[in-house]
Structure 1
Amino acid sequence: MDDELRQRLQDAARAHHPDRERMLARVERGMSQGGPARAGRVLRPLRAPMPWLRVVGATVAVCGVLAVGTLAVTSALHDDGGGQRVAGAASPSTAAPEQGSALPTEDGPLWSDGSVNSNSNRYWAQSEVTVKTGKALSALTVELRIALTGGVNTTGSWRSLPVEDFTASAREEGGFLVYRWTLKPGRTVPVGTHTFAGQYNHAEGARDAKGDDYTARARAFGQQAAVGGDFGPAH
């Protein structure tokens, strides 16, 4: 290329003035019509929900199911009266123990008596069950029931037989303070007369023991015996 042609091209380039306003108008027109790319801006597809949003949604759904299940179980555990029932196997009914006044005072090798100790006073008393046996006993349960009249509460108990031979308890049951002595397995009660005593406080004054009773049930190596009664005057 000679120098004259090069000079002409340079003069033409310097003389060219682009129409800037027209170019901007074309760009704006293209952007308003949309498209995959405009003025260097790339349109990206919508992304899937972030993982934590999926976890939150699943948690909310599980909580809803648990809430409905809990409501159903709670409703099933209440009866029409608003009380709560506990599901489970029904336990067999047990008859109330026979009261002492319905039993004889003597049966087979056993003889019995109930009395209030003469040392009892206006605030405290000791009721005693005396058991006499003509045979050695392989099993024996003595029960002393003190009616829960005013102020009655236990202050202790004792027996004339060895303490280690018996399991003893004192508790309130069905309107009575109940003392119970049970011979331990493998132990025996020898022939003779034996005493079981329950001690208790009561309201001030002379206490009437007519509501009290006792029972003694025994086995003399195969022979069953049961005695009982109420309480006579102090002696």
Structure 2
Amino acid sequence: MTGPRRDVDDGLRARLHEAAGAHRPDRARMLARVERGMTAGGRGPARPPLPGWVRVAGATAAVAGVLVAGGYTVAPAVRDDAPAQRSVATSPGPREPGPLRSSGVVDPHSNEFWAQSNITLETSAPLTALTVELRVAQTGSVTSTGAWRSLPEEDFTFAVDERDGFLRYRWRLKPGRTVPAGEWVFAGQYNHERGGRDAGGDRYSATATAASGRVSVEGGFAASG
């Protein structure tokens, strides 16, 4: 197709090409050129003036369409700021006296042959001494398969043995080490007889020292889910 319309399109494309190649394009001037080009090309009778933000959005879309058709990469003219990161808080358990609170749960990844018991301690103040003990009732073929804690391994001594009908795990903070304020997990893993195991006889306890003095907590284990 040739004629005035083609001449206008070629002229518009050349001007957009020039604007896109600039190191710091003048966006306002580019949009004004698009509006003038659209008017010169003849697109029907004049319409009432649109609000400023509508004209900017329409002209920006026209710029993007022409540049993409010409093989150019176009960055969005307007972008929303990235959403702020959010932290999700969980409902705390009952508050024990002092800075320490606790809860116990059978891990949801436990199965009919193996289980893990999780002790969660939350302290609102640093601890200069801490001993955590997990006692798993010997309900049949209960044998240890390991243990872990979310605090640094080198800060604790660890032992596991069987005594008085319980498989016993014990973590003790080394002298000179400190547990910072926060939420920490201690977990014992063990095999057991096939089938759903009853954790009703399992217990845990923790004794700690903070600036306010000595504090202790204890409890049992709820089934996960």
TM-score of the two chains, using structure 1 as the length reference: 0.55
Indicate the residue corresponding to 1:27 in structure 2: none
Distance of 2:202 and 2:139 partners within structure 1 = 10
CA shift for structure 1 position 233: 1.3
Counting matched residue pairs gives 132
Tell me if structure 1 keeps the 8 A contact 2:157–2:173. yes
Amino acid at match of 2:202: D
- Distance in 2 (alpha carbons) for counterparts of 1:220 and 1:193: 15
Partner of 2:167: 177
Q: Distance in 1 between matches of 2:183 and 2:212?
A: 21
**Secondary structure, in 3 states, of the residue corresponding to 1:106?**
coil
CA distance in 2, matches of 1:173, 1:129: 20
Listed as ranges, the matches of 1:175-214 within 5 Å are 175-214=165-204
Match of 1:152 among 135, 139, 142: 142
Q: Which residue of 1 aligns with 2:128?
A: 138
Native 8 Å contact 2:103 2:119 kept in 1: yes
Q: Once the two structures are superposed, what CA deviation does each residue of 1:112-142 show, in whole Å capped at 9, x if it has no partner?
A: 0000000000000000100000000000000
TM-score, scaled relative to structure 2: 0.57
Q: Is the 8 A contact 1:124 1:200 kept in 2?
A: yes
Q: Provide the identity percentage.
A: 57
> In structure 2, what is the Cα distance between the partners aligned to 1:202 and 1:193?
29
Choose 142-151 or 215-224, whichever is displaced more.
Answer: 215-224
**Mapping for residues 34-183 of structure 1, pairs under 5 Å:** 106-183=96-173
Q: Secondary structure at the match of 2:109?
A: coil
Gaps of 5+ in 2: 1-93
Closer, same or farther in 2 for the Cα pair 1:222/1:106, shift >3 Å? closer
Secondary structure of the structure 1 residue equivalent to 2:154: helix
Alpha-carbon offset, residue 185 of structure 1: 0.1
5+ residue gaps, structure 1, are 1-103
Runs of 4 or more above 3 Å deviation: none
Amino acid at match of 1:130: T
SS of the residue 1:107 aligns to: coil
The Cα shift of 1:234 comes to: 1.4
Q: Assess if the C-alpha contact under 8 Å between 1:105 and 1:228 holds in 2.
A: no
Report if the CA contact (8 A) 1:105-1:227 is conserved.
Answer: no
CA distance, structure 2, for counterparts of residue 227 and residue 105 of structure 1: 10
**Residues 105, 113 of structure 1: 8 Å contact kept:** no
Per-residue Cα deviation, 1:53-112 (whole angstroms, up to 9, x for no partner): xxxxxxxxxxxxxxxxxxxxxxxxxxxxxxxxxxxxxxxxxxxxxxxxxxx972200000
1:75 maps to none
1:221 is displaced (CA, Å) by 3.1
- Indicate the RMSD between aligned Cα atoms, in angstroms: 1.2
SS at match of 1:219: strand
SS in 2 for 1:118: coil
**Which letter does structure 2 place at the counterpart of 1:145?**
R
